[in-house]
């Protein structure tokens, strides 16, 4: 079974998926309007602690989504690696947040809620949207003057578990508890500054709070799947691919795509450092097998035209690396057929190939080198026009979803 997210374009077609997006957008806007988020006075009242509806609604949405997402990943129903998480640019994010916060206080809207107000023909909402569009225009015209700062302090897909170094379940439970305490404190502030009466509030909110707490506790108890567990879930399907040798690409094909300007090739040399230093293909990255999981996040941020090729002396370690990439949903991953030994056999000169080590074991380097000079061999950078091979091309780019934009609702 393929885990969620659902491939809507495949299920409903190109235009059918847009109908789904439209329905979701309309439903989201309707919820915001029903929550009173089209009223700038209600939105601004939160900054005076008179009406904490914004805090309650938005944080409820956040923690409900969080519990459902990580509950689904814990049960193997959702692949978290396929969910786009905006990368963190720390200082630009802080400055942007301050600017937007001031705009929220002054104008009474955030970009999303201003669209809700404009859709209901509220004049302040319409003028706020016009201001947003004007700001977008001037930002686009001036960003080149502060592009260095705009792209600074990049931290990648940085989330709370990485920040605190804690398991996902503990963070989920902690955020839910924090949110529930904030809701309680919000009601106290409303009573003090807004003279709100909490008695008419529905009693079922206590049951909902308990359900969220129990859901977060379940996420903690179940835990998130390990790489081994993710691989076990797809092993029956992927082992067929390995047995059919559908992902072991010929060295000639690797040489071709290295020189294909439409493709970015990331070669992952997972051998030990000694063998890598003796000989490796030009531009191959040395990432020992045990360190491959540490780079998964980085691989997911590579552009859609990236092809990953794992390589070892033979194919054993490279195959294990490929399994990790598959378990972590890294697309366009392949294995160098025959590994570095096969590459040297095809592209090495007589001096290089004559030092053949017949006693080499499984996934060991079959050639003896007088010194470790890495990629300073002709065979490390073969001329693509000097060789002709007959092979079946296997590289097929898988499409990745484009990143979605963020927003406050």
Q: Return the HEC string of 355-371.
A: CECCCCCCCCCCECCCC
Shared-domain flag, residues 185 and 298: no
Is 183 among the domain residues?
A: yes
**In this structure, what are the phi and psi dihedrals at residue 4, rounded to the nearest 5 degrees?**
-65, 165
Q: Which of 249, 255, 253 is nearest to 384 (CA)?
A: 255
Peptide bond into 5 cis (omega under 30): yes
Shared-domain flag, residues 199 and 267: no
Is 76 among the domain residues?
A: yes
Is 12 among the domain residues?
A: yes
Cross-strand bridge partners of residue 334 = 309
Alpha-carbon span 381 to 384, nearest angstrom:
9
3 state DSSP class of 108: coil
DSSP labels, 141-170: HHGGGGHHHHT-SEEES--HHHHHT--HHH
Is 349 among the domain residues?
A: yes
**CATH code: domain of residue 349:** 3.40.250.10
Shared-domain flag, residues 67 and 98: yes
- Look-up: residue for tokens 């490796």? 280
Alpha-carbon span 218 to 125, nearest angstrom:
41
Shared-domain flag, residues 258 and 198: no
pLDDT for res 4: 61
pLDDT for res 240: 97
How many angstroms separate the Cα of 11 from the Cα of each of 32, 242, 329?
28, 28, 20
3 state DSSP class of 306: strand
Q: Quick one: how many helices (H) and strands (E) in the chain?
A: 17, 7
Shared-domain flag, residues 278 and 196: no
Is 102 among the domain residues?
A: yes
Report which secondary-structure segment, H or E, holds 125.
helix 123-142
DSSP tag of 311? E
Q: Which of 197, 258, 246 is nearest to 381 (CA)?
A: 258
The two structure tokens encoding residue 138: 């001037």
Shared-domain flag, residues 238 and 341: yes
Domain boundary, last residue among 203, 226, 249: 226
Shared-domain flag, residues 152 and 254: no
Shared-domain flag, residues 180 and 238: no
In tens digits, the chain (409 residues) has pLDDT values of 455 667 777 788 888 889 999 999 899 889 889 888 999 999 989 888 999 988 998 899 999 999 999 999 999 888 898 888 888 999 999 999 999 999 998 899 988 899 999 999 999 999 999 999 999 999 999 999 999 999 999 998 889 999 999 999 999 999 999 999 999 999 999 988 887 777 777 889 899 999 999 999 999 999 999 999 999 999 999 999 999 999 999 999 999 999 999 999 999 999 999 999 999 999 999 999 999 999 998 999 899 899 999 999 999 999 999 999 999 999 999 999 999 999 999 998 887 888 888 777 788 999 988 888 899 999 999 998 888 889 999 999 876 554 444 555 5
Alpha-carbon span 334 to 238, nearest angstrom:
12
Q: Say what the pTM is.
A: 0.83
Is 300 among the domain residues?
A: yes
Shared-domain flag, residues 179 and 268: no
Is 241 among the domain residues?
A: yes
Domain boundary, last residue among 226, 247, 268: 226
CB 67 within 8 A of CB 172: yes
Shared-domain flag, residues 219 and 246: no
How many angstroms separate the Cα of 38 from the Cα of each of 74, 201, 407?
36, 21, 16
User: Which residues, in sequence order, are CB contacts of 222 under 8 Å at separation 6+?
Assistant: 71, 74, 75, 169
Q: Which of 272, 274, 276, 295 is nearest to 284 (CA)?
A: 276
Shared-domain flag, residues 187 and 324: no
Could you count the other beta carbons within 10 Å of the beta carbon of residue 134?
Answer: 10
Looking at the structure of the chain, the number of domains it has is: 2
User: Which residues, in sequence order, are CB contacts of 382 under 8 Å at separation 6+?
Assistant: 255, 347
Is 211 among the domain residues?
A: yes
CB 105 within 8 A of CB 97: no
Write out the residue range of the structural domain in which residue 332 sits.
228-380
Domain boundary, last residue among 162, 192, 226: 226
Shared-domain flag, residues 21 and 162: yes
């Amino acid at each position: 079974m393929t885990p969620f997210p659902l491939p809507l374009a495949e299920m409903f077609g190109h235009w059918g998926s847009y109908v789904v997006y439209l329905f979701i957008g309309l439903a989201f806007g309707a919820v915001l309007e029903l929550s009173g988020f089209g009223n700038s006075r209600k939105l601004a009242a939160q900054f005076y602690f008179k009406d904490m509806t914004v805090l309650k609604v938005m944080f409820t949405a956040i923690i409900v989504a969080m519990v459902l997402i990580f509950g689904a990943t814990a049960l193997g129903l959702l692949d978290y690696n396929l969910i786009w998480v905006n990368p963190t640019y720390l200082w630009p994010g802080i400055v942007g947040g301050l600017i937007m916060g001031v705009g929220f206080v002054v104008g009474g809207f955030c970009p999303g809620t201003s669209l809700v107000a404009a859709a209901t023909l509220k004049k302040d909402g319409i003028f706020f949207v016009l201001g947003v569009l004007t700001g977008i225009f001037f930002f686009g015209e001036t960003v080149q003057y502060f592009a260095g700062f705009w792209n600074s302090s990049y931290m990648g897909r940085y989330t709370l578990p990485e920040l605190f170094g804690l398991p996902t379940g503990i963070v989920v439970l902690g955020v839910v508890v924090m949110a529930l305490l904030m809701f309680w404190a919000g009601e106290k502030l409303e009573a003090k500054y807004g003279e709100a009466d909490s008695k008419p509030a529905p009693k079922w909110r206590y049951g909902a709070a308990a359900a969220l707490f129990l859901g977060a506790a379940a996420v903690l108890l179940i835990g998130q799947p390990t790489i081994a567990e993710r691989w076990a879930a797809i092993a029956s399907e992927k082992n067929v691919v390995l047995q059919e040798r559908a992902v072991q690409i010929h060295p000639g094909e690797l040489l071709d795509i290295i020189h294909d300007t439409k493709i970015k090739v990331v070669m992952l040399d997972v051998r030990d450092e000694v063998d890598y230093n003796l000989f490796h293909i030009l531009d191959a990255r040395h990432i020992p097998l045990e360190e491959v999981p540490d780079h998964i996040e980085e691989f997911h941020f590579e552009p859609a035209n990236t092809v990953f090729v794992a390589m070892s002396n033979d194919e054993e370690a490279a195959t294990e690396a490929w399994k990790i990439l598959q378990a972590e949903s890294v697309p366009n991953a392949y294995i160098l057929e025959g590994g570095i030994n096969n590459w040297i056999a095809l592209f090495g000169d007589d001096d290089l190939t004559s030092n053949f080590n017949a006693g080499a074991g499984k996934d060991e380097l079959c050639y003896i080198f007088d010194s470790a000079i890495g990629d300073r061999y002709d065979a490390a950078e073969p001329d693509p026009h000097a060789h002709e091979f007959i092979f079946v091309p296997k590289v097929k780019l898988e499409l990745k979803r484009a990143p979605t934009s963020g927003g406050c609702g």
